[in-house]
Amino acid sequence: MHNAKTHLKVNDRVEVITGRDKGRVGKVIKVDRSQGRAVVEKINMIKRHTKPSQLNQQGGIIEKEAPVAISNLKLICPKCAQTSRIGRKILEDGTKVRICKKCNESVEAKA
């Protein structure tokens, strides 16, 4: 995949729809468009065996999140609190927003 479009952004609440963590909900920490993957808080945890180093004096086994394929995640609409597909809409002022297909409301975080 080369810089694939995605329906996810950092801080979105998502549900895992398939795989080992199916049904679990978390917050998106990082999105890697080039790989088509996202890192989600407390989802797809792996154990990493690390040597002691300058950065990490202790070493040992560290648990951290591994990336999940974006196709395995579904956004949870903040308005209707359901998992939903995402559409795009251009507003009168020319800005693009993502909309929930179930309640037709914008899912963008109020900035």
- pLDDT score at 1: 54
Task: Read off the pLDDT of residues 18-49 as tens digits, 9 standing for 90 and up.
Answer: 999 999 999 999 999 999 999 999 999 999 99
Predicted TM-score of the model (pTM): 0.86
Task: Read off the pLDDT of residues 42-100 as tens digits, 9 standing for 90 and up.
Answer: 999 999 999 999 988 888 999 999 999 999 999 999 999 999 999 999 999 999 999 99
Residue 3: pLDDT band with limits 50, 70, 90: confident
Q: What is the DSSP string of 4-68?
A: ---S--TT-EEEE-SSTTTT-EEEEEEEETTTTEEEETTSSEEEEEE---SS-SS-EEEEEEPPE
- pLDDT score at 109: 73
- pLDDT score at 2: 65
- pLDDT score at 56: 82
CATH topology of domain 1-76: SH3 type barrels. (2.30.30)
Q: Would you give the DSSP letter of residue 83?
A: B
- pLDDT score at 110: 65
The ranges of the chain annotated as CATH 2.30.30.30 are 1-76
